[in-house]
Amino acid sequence: MKPFDVLLGFDMESDIGSWTPFHEGLRCATPKVLEVFAKHDAKGTFYFVGLSAKEVAESVFAVQAAGHEIGAHSLFHETVGDPIFPIPGIPPLLPSEVFPRLELNTSWIEEICGVRPVSFRSPRLFGSTAVCNALERLGYVSDASYPMYYYLQRMEPYHPSAEDWTKPGTLNLVQIPNFANLSIESHDPLGRDRDQWPKFRTESSHDLLRHVDEFLDYLDRQDVRRRVLAFYFHPWEFHPMPQDLIHFGEGAVLPAAFLVKNCGDYACEQFDLFLSGLTARGARFKTAAEIARETPPLD
Ligand SMILES: [Zn+2]
């Protein structure tokens, strides 16, 4: 059994990401998630949306008290980087908005918990070169925004280029790719069917662990120095989510079925089984900042 590093990242945001303004998941499911972490003696990084951290400050305190890393996940769950697909009502930030918004995101979280975040993840993994450069200026050490399912190239943490975040370069910041099972064929125009998320919930822990095994085998055949698997989850997945139209003042939203399927108890059970499976395979749970600090510069 060859050990490998695992980043368990939680994006601490409103229910169903940008599709509702509610925080039932953050409020009710954070304690359940922390319990599963404690049971497996695991640690992770919890990336807070600035607004969500303000609305449910007790979830920030609970995560911090449990000894996990507090990271940032944008100010309002807006599109901070290059969109892979369009979201109605959320146009991408103007280049001039990126730095000031990430700066506010950083200071809001620091004001709440007293510790300045040094790890970031872009909403929907829509990262960009401008985001990486802003994070570098703000003193961040890691960004876990790179979606392997879409960009396909980087399979281990790397220092990105200041000119193109998807390529290795000389920034101090470390980019941590989110793993996708690149060993299987894709039948999706965006390649999203190879992504890890949300298979633990829409399928099962068993199904996701099969993708882990296949991807670890695949990595063994690639020219990589380290085996690091980064995952992303959300607290709202561990609380029952509405299955029907959600009505607002001027319209209604029906989130795609995969977003809300099996949220609640099933997700909790499967997450618990998933951590057991990872431990049995030799996983070493690390925070994003720890993984970044163990990433050497480009040769
Ligand atoms: Zn998010």
For 212, half-sphere exposure in the C-beta direction (CA atoms, 13 angstrom radius) is 27
Q: What is the Å distance from ligand 1's center to 153 Cα?
A: 23
Handedness of CA 237, 205, 86, 129 (dihedral sign): positive
pLDDT greater than 90 at residue 108: yes
Q: What is the Å distance from ligand 1's center to 298 Cα?
A: 30
Q: What is the Å distance from ligand 1's center to 13 Cα?
A: 6
Q: What is the Å distance from ligand 1's center to 46 Cα?
A: 11
Q: Which residues lie below 8 Å from residue 132, measured CB to CB, with a gap of 6+?
A: 143, 160, 162, 165, 171, 173, 175
Q: What does the pLDDT look like over 129-177, one tens digit per residue?
A: 999 999 999 999 999 999 999 999 999 999 999 999 999 999 999 999 9
Q: What is the Å distance from ligand 1's center to 77 Cα?
A: 6
pLDDT of residue 229: 98
pLDDT of residue 124: 97
Q: What is the mean pLDDT of residues 80-102?
A: 95
Q: What does the pLDDT look like over 216-231, one tens digit per residue?
A: 999 999 989 999 999 9
Q: What is the Å distance from ligand 1's center to 221 Cα?
A: 32
**DSSP assignment letter at 168:** B
Q: What is the Å distance from ligand 1's center to 177 Cα?
A: 16
pLDDT of residue 297: 84
Q: Which run of H or of E encompasses 95?
A: helix 95-113
Q: What is the Å distance from ligand 1's center to 2 Cα?
A: 32
Q: What does the pLDDT look like over 18-29, one tens digit per residue?
A: 999 999 999 999
Q: What does the pLDDT look like over 168-196, one tens digit per residue?
A: 999 999 999 999 999 999 999 999 999 99
Q: What is the Å distance from ligand 1's center to 282 Cα?
A: 28
Q: What does the pLDDT look like over 275-286, one tens digit per residue?
A: 999 999 999 999
Q: What is the Å distance from ligand 1's center to 17 Cα?
A: 5
Tell me the pLDDT band of 1, cut-offs 50, 70 and 90: confident
Q: What is the mean pLDDT of residues 58-71?
A: 98
Q: What is the Å distance from ligand 1's center to 1 Cα?
A: 33
pLDDT greater than 70 at residue 299: no
Q: What is the C-alpha to C-alpha distance for residues 241 and 87, in angstroms, rounded to an integer?
A: 20
Q: What is the Å distance from ligand 1's center to 11 Cα?
A: 5
Burial annotation 223-257 (CB, 10 A radius, 16+ → b, else e)? eeeebbbbbbbbbbbbbbbbeeebeeeeeeeebee
Asked if 247 and 182 touch (Cβ cutoff 8 Å), the reply is: no
